[in-house]
Structure 1
């Protein structure tokens, strides 16, 4: 008994040491500001004490709010990032404890905790304000309890551990529902063991059910928050039983889908993906790969410019907006990051954020309209076809919304909902950074004013292609560079319009040419089609004699970048036409140089 007790105390001390060591690494690599993904929405829901997207994550929301209040340092995002880092370290400690408890090996426990904690995905998501590290903590806790139950020698110990485990199983489901896979396996195993030991009485089964149900108590937060309706950002109406079930069962996403999409993913597809991913992650060279991955990931995570990319993206977008504007949000990146800056950091309180997707839900306007003062909603719900539904609900389309809110400038981020083209009746889209401005067709385009207003929006300095393609930083970087290209394309097409006066054409061509040139020459790595676009712009400007650019320069640039394009893209269906244009441009350049010599 003495040796067993000493080993137990030694294991506990080692588990604390593992927690401390992993905590130090995670804390040193925490993003100081907002990560990507759902982080912005989850932090905002916690800060506002609202409800996060289905299934609501009440436990995470309450713990994140506690961290925001108790941690007296760093940004609001940093405090929640820190909380998640501590969750991740605790998960590593529990994993160590489980392996040590079952094997008696300190080295085995440390190896398991280290390989798990510093694998690419675990590390990446343990230091971001997401629900995954808390889910890992619960998995570790349930495994530790299962190991403790396995080693229990008396019926009393098994009874006590099974009750604690039942409560933790219920509590874990107040976070991420994917843990149900672990809960089912462990619960069935525990029940079988109790039955085998003849300790599974009806009374004990009832007590386990009560403890399991008690773990669900945090879900009471959802109807309370929804009833009070004080949060400026929240999701759903849980004040009715059907509304609560809709949210809890994730019916707006599809109960067995991990994310909302037009197609969704079946459970079998998800499991097959996980198996394929495990096969990749757990190769025979795992230790060597883990070391390399850790070094690369640490360098990536510790890169402060990487840590601030999402923050920079959102601030660029937010501060580009004129006073009192309406921003129609679409997509996770602009939506979640802007919500965080607007509601949590208090930036640009004059603008109004309206979620396009949320407008299609019956609960959105009844819950949120009071938090959007100064915006008029000509009905209860957005729908392309206006009218009154059998329930008495009045639906309105985007054209009607724009018409009643013409006193405000309206912008859309990541495009408009494809199902409602009514805005095209009397509005057009003008590029505005990574967003677009909805402008009445009655307004005459003034290129000088527009160029002056938008020029500073495109001061993005991050190198194109420098981030991991699977990261949110890469998405933000791509959005900002493509915004420049989209704007140059818009200006160029406008300049090509026949009814544009010559002096306006001059301004537009010059601005498009400068944008294209900056895009191509500022970035060493960029998509091949940028060469093609710039070459076309140079070639077209040759035909417009009002431009004050040396024709020889335009010809040389056009030839150079058409050549670079056809070298990199071998399967362009227009390849033959481009090669013919190249031959023509080379002859034209030779003729121009011969004329100059004469």
Structure 2
């Protein structure tokens, strides 16, 4: 029943469309091979298994149920069990491995060992980090089989040579599929070396989560972060209850046994408790000392890292089941003692109350605190599970027919790939990953799948790091080879270092014109030529706002893919604002007289409005991935230039006596001066903030002089 309850909740809150991260890639592959499903029931059976049940009383199933709910509705497990990521399937495979381990330790049999070997192979097929849990559990299994004289050289060879490889056999499908590569397929598995390179993740680093980051946190700090997070995930109940449960299994249960039967049972409980604690400690230590190498200070990289805390949290919650069982025993014993010996109904009620109270309190509390943020299903109106779908849709719908889209981040790549492959949206678009292009196998497996696209030779020093020279060369060489072919090319905004983008989008010989969530790549535009693109920039932003309007940023914490999508949404507004501002500044400097500057008002109004809206969003929600100080400075600059242009217009077009009584003229004049007053108020508000936050900026003195002058004129 509990498993069914958890499953119903998961179905109700499951992501209705593509989540973020690697989910788009998995879903695109799943259109042919199927998708993972969220687990729950196996954990329930596991926590009710022998070790927890060994706490004497039958109502410990309530404590086990509470532990299962503790894991199933912890934010990390809940989020990834209701989305199409590898972690949902990994959770169920590790839970099955734990269940099989518990059965072997309490009732050793070779049949269970064979099942366990197959499950271990399947788990390693799904995620390599599982070995940190499966290794210690395998040692516990082998020890239990040895003690019962069930393990021999022949049986060991059978487990390791037949059943474990059987679990690894899905890897064979990779070899078959590699013979017919599809767009977006990863690697070249046509050779043994290529197969091993792919299986061992050699291109990423077999023992590394990602590219090493200089001055990243040490193992002690990372482990400390895990402890704090695991406590928060389990409402601060998990760690103390797990410590109580493991301590009881290792000490109290063993010393309290008197009969041979009880001693044998206690020995097995101790054995499983030791295996569980060892697996947890081994994972936490080795993971944070060796595998974990990305920064935890940035929200996105921390969220990527935190997904690998789900496995030790599963072990923690299983151990917490025993601790909760002991707590239930203690409470029930007290209730039992106050009931009259003749009142059997009262004693049964005491036990039943404890059994029901724990899961009820935990589930109610977790629902109360977490339901709003975790409900991303499509069962009710106003669902927020469509964020990534809307993002990908906005990205693709803005492109003209037969466009060439270059993606740099998983955010753009996977959302768009899912919609194209699984939902058939914009199949006319050619979609290429700049992250995959530099790999040696790209030319042999992917290049021919993109007819009409020229792929320049890969050069020494190539990189996909956004700020690197190798990445800039990769992008510009590709653009130089393909732009003359007449293709309309659109570039991921995260593909280049925005600090290198000059006036009206100039970037290394090209012009990058904001086009919704991407840049339209054009041959270098002059200042006058760029003006013809202004209307298109505004139109695309309007369409983007209409498509992405349902995104409720307040529902998502920093580090989530939805939050990143909202950040890129505002990045797009920022880049459009800079495009207008740089045009206006260039045209302003080229205007020979102040009387010719009022014609820049439309561009300055657009720049001022876009930058101000972006600044407000960044202040309220933090949804901005570029430099916050640059955003503030450019907003101030836009406000100052707008004020100057408005004042120039007022000076060059004063209200004539002939039309002084005209209602329309008076109304126009009132609007003009109201706009001047508002622009001046914005300047007087934002300039002091800029001077306070960017006191060392090279232009701080110039902004200070403008502020003093504005203050003087405002008192005249």
Aligning the two structures, in what range does the TM-score lie when normalised by the shorter sequence? 0.7 to 0.9
The equivalent position to 2:441 in structure 1, one of 325, 347, 363, is: 363
Matches within 5 A, 1:71-150: 80=35, 83-85=36-38, 87-97=39-49, 100-103=52-55, 105-150=60-105
SS at match of 1:525: helix
State the partner residue of 1:434.
517
Moved more, 441-450 or 295-304: 441-450
Structure 2 vs 1, CA of residues 563 and 449 (structure 1 numbering), >3 Å: closer, same or farther? closer
Tell me how large the CA RMSD over aligned residues is: 3.5
Structure 2 vs 1, CA of residues 565 and 182 (structure 1 numbering), >3 Å: closer, same or farther? farther
State the partner residue of 1:496.
585
State the partner residue of 1:408.
487
What is the Cα deviation at residue 490 of structure 1? 2.2
Q: Deviations over 1:106-156 (max 9, x none)?
A: 11211111111011111111101111111111121111111111221xxxx
What is the Cα deviation at residue 552 of structure 1? 5.1
What is the Cα deviation at residue 486 of structure 1? 2.1
Q: Is the 8 A contact 2:511 2:525 kept in 1?
A: no
Partners of 1:365 and 1:520 lie apart in 2 by 43
SS at match of 1:437: strand
Moved more, 161-170 or 506-515: 506-515
The equivalent position to 2:429 in structure 1, one of 321, 339, 351, is: 351
State the partner residue of 1:20.
4
SS at match of 1:445: helix
Q: Is the 8 A contact 2:409 2:494 kept in 1?
A: no
Whether 2:202 is the aligned partner of 1:251: answer yes
State the partner residue of 1:559.
681
Structure 2 vs 1, CA of residues 257 and 487 (structure 1 numbering), >3 Å: closer, same or farther? same
Structure 2 vs 1, CA of residues 302 and 466 (structure 1 numbering), >3 Å: closer, same or farther? closer
Moved more, 428-437 or 479-488: 428-437
Q: Is the 8 A contact 1:429 1:438 kept in 2?
A: yes
State the partner residue of 1:238.
189
Q: Is the 8 A contact 1:31 1:127 kept in 2?
A: yes
Q: Is the 8 A contact 1:328 1:412 kept in 2?
A: yes
State the partner residue of 2:413.
335
Partners of 1:129 and 1:330 lie apart in 2 by 22
Moved more, 502-511 or 121-130: 502-511
The equivalent position to 2:174 in structure 1, one of 222, 239, 242, is: 222
| Long gaps (5+) in structure 1 | 1-16, 50-64, 67-79, 387-395, 592-598
Structure 2 vs 1, CA of residues 195 and 384 (structure 1 numbering), >3 Å: closer, same or farther? closer
Q: Is the 8 A contact 2:408 2:435 kept in 1?
A: yes
Structure 2 vs 1, CA of residues 118 and 90 (structure 1 numbering), >3 Å: closer, same or farther? same
Partners of 1:348 and 1:272 lie apart in 2 by 46
SS at match of 2:189: coil
Matches within 5 A, 1:41-80: 41-47=25-31, 49=32, 65-66=33-34, 80=35
State the partner residue of 1:509.
604
What is the Cα deviation at residue 431 of structure 1? 1.8
SS at match of 2:557: coil
Whether 2:620 is the aligned partner of 1:525: answer yes
The equivalent position to 1:451 in structure 2, one of 507, 513, 535, is: 535
The equivalent position to 2:374 in structure 1, one of 272, 295, 301, is: 301
What is the Cα deviation at residue 166 of structure 1? 1.4
SS at match of 2:157: helix
Partners of 2:507 and 2:177 lie apart in 1 by 39
The equivalent position to 1:207 in structure 2, one of 158, 166, 189, is: 158
Structure 2 vs 1, CA of residues 562 and 411 (structure 1 numbering), >3 Å: closer, same or farther? farther
Structure 2 vs 1, CA of residues 95 and 37 (structure 1 numbering), >3 Å: closer, same or farther? farther
State the partner residue of 2:23.
39
What is the Cα deviation at residue 295 of structure 1? 2.7
State the partner residue of 1:30.
14
Q: Is the 8 A contact 2:684 2:711 kept in 1?
A: no
Partners of 1:102 and 1:366 lie apart in 2 by 59
Q: Is the 8 A contact 1:464 1:477 kept in 2?
A: yes
Q: Deviations over 1:190-236 (max 9, x none)?
A: 2122223333211111111121111111010111111122x222111
Whether 2:558 is the aligned partner of 1:475: answer no
Partners of 1:168 and 1:319 lie apart in 2 by 43
Partners of 2:230 and 2:616 lie apart in 1 by 42
Q: Which has the higher helix share?
A: 2
Partners of 2:194 and 2:497 lie apart in 1 by 27
Partners of 1:338 and 1:232 lie apart in 2 by 13
Structure 2 vs 1, CA of residues 504 and 88 (structure 1 numbering), >3 Å: closer, same or farther? farther
Partners of 1:307 and 1:296 lie apart in 2 by 19
Q: Is the 8 A contact 1:102 1:147 kept in 2?
A: no
What is the Cα deviation at residue 248 of structure 1? 0.9
Partners of 1:523 and 1:186 lie apart in 2 by 47
Structure 2 vs 1, CA of residues 266 and 524 (structure 1 numbering), >3 Å: closer, same or farther? closer
Partners of 1:569 and 1:90 lie apart in 2 by 59
Partners of 2:363 and 2:175 lie apart in 1 by 44
Q: Is the 8 A contact 1:434 1:480 kept in 2?
A: yes
Q: Which has the higher Rg, Structure 1 or Structure 2?
A: 2
The equivalent position to 1:573 in structure 2, one of 672, 687, 695, is: 695
Structure 2 vs 1, CA of residues 518 and 193 (structure 1 numbering), >3 Å: closer, same or farther? closer
| Long gaps (5+) in structure 2 | 239-357, 377-381, 464-472, 623-627, 651-667
Partners of 2:681 and 2:370 lie apart in 1 by 41
Query: What is the number of equivalent residue pairs in this alignment?
Result: 527
Q: Is the 8 A contact 2:403 2:487 kept in 1?
A: yes
Q: Is the 8 A contact 2:516 2:572 kept in 1?
A: yes
Moved more, 243-252 or 541-550: 541-550
Structure 2 vs 1, CA of residues 579 and 101 (structure 1 numbering), >3 Å: closer, same or farther? same
Q: Deviations over 1:468-515 (max 9, x none)?
A: 223211111111012112211221022101347858734422322343
Partners of 2:129 and 2:50 lie apart in 1 by 21
SS at match of 1:150: helix
Partners of 2:22 and 2:209 lie apart in 1 by 13
Structure 2 vs 1, CA of residues 282 and 119 (structure 1 numbering), >3 Å: closer, same or farther? closer
Q: Is the 8 A contact 2:512 2:522 kept in 1?
A: yes
What is the Cα deviation at residue 46 of structure 1? 2.4
Partners of 1:569 and 1:525 lie apart in 2 by 20
Q: Which has the higher contact order (CA 8 A, sep 6+)?
A: 2
Whether 2:284 is the aligned partner of 1:159: answer no
TM-score, normalised to structure 1, is 0.78
The equivalent position to 1:177 in structure 2, one of 128, 133, 148, is: 128
Structure 2 vs 1, CA of residues 260 and 108 (structure 1 numbering), >3 Å: closer, same or farther? same
Q: Is the 8 A contact 1:91 1:140 kept in 2?
A: yes
